Amino acid sequence: MTRILVIQNNEAEGLGSFESELKQAGVEFDLIKAYEAQSLPAGVMLDEVGYRGIMILGGPMSALDDHGHPFLLEEVRLIHDALERKLPLLNVCLGAQLLARACHMPLKIGGQKEVGWHEVQLNTWFTQRNPLFFQVPEKFMTFHWHSDTFEIPAEGYRLAGSKLYPNQAFCFGGNAYGIQFHPEITEELIHAWIAADEKRSKRFISAEQEAAILAGMPQFLADQQKIAHQIIYGWTSLLRPKDYRRPIVEEIPEEKPVEVAAEATPETSAEEAVGE
């Protein structure tokens, strides 16, 4: 059975619809709750357990807030270990920002809020050739809950953007993905995020934004499971068994030229033509 590691950074921000999609794909996962100070594995432990991929979920904190959330620095280290081992990564929202940080790209903290249902447009030149997005429509409505953003690594490429934030998804190294929006969103997650936001001394979203989110659920929520399925289907195709080895392509031996016997002529006998 293929096994991956999932890092959860906030109590309210779980796997959502990704959980059922992973199970449907036959992928087991170990869940580490970093916000509860559960320890993250080092590189050697990744090898020993045999994880074939890593997923890092979102959270309300800044991706640079190591003082308030020291586990973020450990997650950056974990990303480095995964990149070194060429393990597939699927990082969402905060996770995407941490991937950009691990690739030494600048982060912009506290920009314009992008909250609720907004359209994302794919960069089709890349996504038509990409396992995560080749089935996803060129434009689609999905859920957002952020104000921070990132720059695309020089060795990576942009997969999607929106009107407010051009960098909504990117790929690095062929199998490490950062997604700013939330394809894993479910009705349960939306209510959990709103409830958690209401408990904060200073709310992240306004009453108008909350009303727009709830009003858009009947129209947009049904398509999110399909998008989640397409993304997870593509990402899990990158996961390889622990003992997987790429097929060895054998060299085709060069063919020796075939000598063609000369035809007999009236001046040449048949025996002379074949060299006898």
Domain assignment present for 251 = no
Domain assignment present for 44 = yes
CA distance 195 to 183: 20
Domain assignment present for 68 = yes
pLDDT tens, position by position, 156-194: 999 999 999 999 999 999 999 999 999 999 999 999 999
Per-residue model confidence (pLDDT) at position 154? 87
Measure CA 86 to chain center: 13
Tell me the helix, strand and coil percentages in the chain, rounded to 5: 35, 20, 45
Per-residue model confidence (pLDDT) at position 248? 55
Secondary structure class of 47 (helix, strand, coil): helix
Domain assignment present for 115 = yes
CA distance 202 to 136: 36
Per-residue model confidence (pLDDT) at position 273? 42
Per-residue model confidence (pLDDT) at position 190? 98
CATH of the domain at 195: 3.40.50.880
Domain assignment present for 273 = no
Domain assignment present for 78 = yes
Instruction: Report pTM.
Output: 0.86
Domain assignment present for 244 = no
Residues (pLDDT < 70) of the chain are: 241-276
Counting the structural domains of the chain, the total is 1
Structure tokens at 173: 């190294």
Per-residue model confidence (pLDDT) at position 268? 47
The residue count for the chain: 276
Domain assignment present for 259 = no
Per-residue model confidence (pLDDT) at position 105? 96
Per-residue model confidence (pLDDT) at position 236? 97
Could you tell me the residue range of the domain that residue 143 belongs to? 2-236
Per-residue model confidence (pLDDT) at position 251? 58
Per-residue model confidence (pLDDT) at position 201? 85
CA distance 159 to 99: 15
Per-residue model confidence (pLDDT) at position 88? 98
Per-residue model confidence (pLDDT) at position 272? 45
